[in-house]
Chains A and B, each alone.
Chain A
């Protein structure tokens, strides 16, 4: 079951938790809403709902309220820090926040207190955001929804018996549940876009190198991305405006021109060439019929709005997935080998199995994967000479039950997100509709390198046509 909410009355009612980032920032800037009032409302909601959702590993309520008071003082004095001044944010717990442990949801790093903020956190604070705390993740961003870790796994607010996706599971769960309007996630094989898909929000994996990874615990050096997670497309664009930028101390960072993402939002899709990658969900991994129907609906809706639709063929999902896994597990092994040798029992079952696989990859496997990667990048680049944006599946199934280990294992690889970690192209996942059981279905848009603006343009057009930004779970 879901509710559709108009935020027009939210400022005068008790629904501050459904304010978008843009609405909250505007009201705060106009002195119609106090950051303290907003933060208190969210903290009360977290206290009420998080025992069912487990989005947080560590809530930093006192510091958040202190920051909110400081923001209120600054705003009343006419000093606005930036786009996000006074708006709360949640941070995935593989990202450093000064003074708080970065546990990676693992016993291994339980007491690993960060000395300084990750660059992405520094940037959000610089724009005025208020850090609420650290959010659940799959262990080291690679485990599953494990019950054998020091903290319980996050749950899906559309139905807490179901998986919220991962690995940025607390980020997806909390944004969808109205615990905070924005969060940071990370994406190595789809970990921003999976929870965005399962929880019905907007999740972006930016172009590789657009957002600094410095201060983020690595999983796989050449596949890791930091990305914004929000309830609306406009909010995602706002977050990216604050996060993007060259970091000379991140070896993968790229000096790209500023994106001007918000300016693209209302351009519509008339004349835009959209490539529909049907074989991903029709042949490579046949999707649930509701997922397929929703994707078809998105394609027709964009066509009705003036987009030109063309069928596109890329390498198969099976091979994209294999290349991603060999690279990811080889690079992850090089990070985790010392702990896996000395403390294998301190990992949860899912993470241990997945990380150990890297020990059995050969140098030949890794180099072969990197050689195929180059060809896959060329294949996607060739397609972008014919079309402006790609439309394809994200998850092939709605979220499964979280306690059904076989279903979690079966559905986890049934997705079309890993291709764009392999190639580094920007990719955005969002709601395409709701299943008959009331769970979110999803769609993915993929753009040219550093052309996140076109992704936001097409995603906003779909959001406007479908009203997905006004669909929320009725969790309370």
Chain B
């Protein structure tokens, strides 16, 4: 992710102060997020694979 993209995303997330005071930390966090997300494979079951936990009406409250 290039510097301009990091700045746009950081400002959109409300991190203007962090960007001004800790630019290296913000850049490292953006790099880390991109690296880790790229390691997840698509689900083996394709488009039908549902997330966990499933929605269950009437339960949980």
Which A residue's beta carbon lies closest to that of B26? A356
| CA of A361 to CA of B31, assembled, Å | 10
Residue of B6, B33, B51 touching A371 (CB-CB under 8 A): B51
How many chain B residues touch the partner (CB < 8 A)?
Answer: 35
Binary CB contact string for chain A from 219 to 251 against chain B (1 if under 8 A, 0 otherwise): 000100000000000000000000000000001
Given the known interface contacts A326-B37, A360-B33, A361-B37, the answer about A372 and B43 at a Cβ–Cβ threshold of 8 Å is: yes
Chain A: interface size category: 35 or more
Which A residue's beta carbon lies closest to that of B30? A360
A337 is an interface residue with CB less than 8 A from chain B? yes
Given the known interface contacts A353-B25, A359-B9, the answer about A340 and B36 at a Cβ–Cβ threshold of 8 Å is: no
Q: Is the interface of A mostly helix, strand, loop or mixed?
A: helix
| CA of A222 to CA of B15, assembled, Å | 25
Which B residue's beta carbon lies closest to that of A362? B37
Instruction: List the interface of chain B (C-beta within 8 A of A).
Output: 1, 6, 9-10, 13-15, 17-18, 21-22, 25-26, 28-30, 32-34, 36-37, 39-45, 49-53, 60-61
| CA of A341 to CA of B36, assembled, Å | 23
Q: Are B25 and A374 in contact (CB under 8 A)?
A: no
A310 is an interface residue with CB less than 8 A from chain B? no
Which B residue's beta carbon lies closest to that of A318? B39
Residue of B13, B29, B51, B60 touching A353 (CB-CB under 8 A): B29
Instruction: List the interface of chain A (C-beta within 8 A of B).
Output: 222, 251, 318-319, 321-323, 325-326, 329, 337, 340-342, 344-345, 349, 352-362, 365, 367-375, 377
Q: Are B33 and A349 in contact (CB under 8 A)?
A: no
| CA of A340 to CA of B1, assembled, Å | 21
Can you spell out 29 A-B residue pairs with CB atoms less than 8 angstroms apart?
A222-B53, A337-B14, A340-B15, A341-B15, A341-B18, A342-B17, A344-B15, A344-B18, A345-B22, A353-B28, A354-B32, A356-B15, A356-B18, A356-B26, A357-B29, A358-B33, A360-B1, A360-B30, A362-B37, A368-B40, A368-B43, A371-B43, A371-B51, A372-B41, A373-B51, A374-B43, A374-B50, A375-B45, A375-B49
Task: For B53, list chain A residues within 8 Å (CB).
Answer: 222
Q: Are A367 and B51 in contact (CB under 8 A)?
A: yes
Task: For A353, list chain B residues within 8 Å (CB).
Answer: 25, 28-29, 32
Task: For B51, list chain A residues within 8 Å (CB).
Answer: 367, 370-371, 373-374
Given the known interface contacts A322-B37, A326-B36, A353-B25, the answer about A377 and B52 at a Cβ–Cβ threshold of 8 Å is: yes
Q: Are A340 and B18 in contact (CB under 8 A)?
A: yes
B31 to chain A, nearest CB (A): 9
Task: For A342, list chain B residues within 8 Å (CB).
Answer: 17
Which B residue's beta carbon lies closest to that of A352? B25
Q: Are B22 and A344 in contact (CB under 8 A)?
A: yes
A267 to chain B, nearest CB (A): 33
B13 to chain A, nearest CB (A): 4
Q: Are A359 and B29 in contact (CB under 8 A)?
A: yes
Known: A321-B36, A370-B52. 17 other contacts (CB 8 A): A319-B39, A341-B13, A341-B17, A344-B15, A352-B25, A354-B29, A356-B15, A356-B26, A358-B33, A360-B13, A361-B33, A365-B33, A367-B51, A369-B40, A371-B51, A372-B40, A375-B44
Task: For A340, list chain B residues within 8 Å (CB).
Answer: 15, 18
| CA of A326 to CA of B13, assembled, Å | 17
Task: For B6, list chain A residues within 8 Å (CB).
Answer: 360
Given the known interface contacts A360-B9, A375-B49, the answer about A365 and B29 at a Cβ–Cβ threshold of 8 Å is: no
A20 to chain B, nearest CB (A): 38
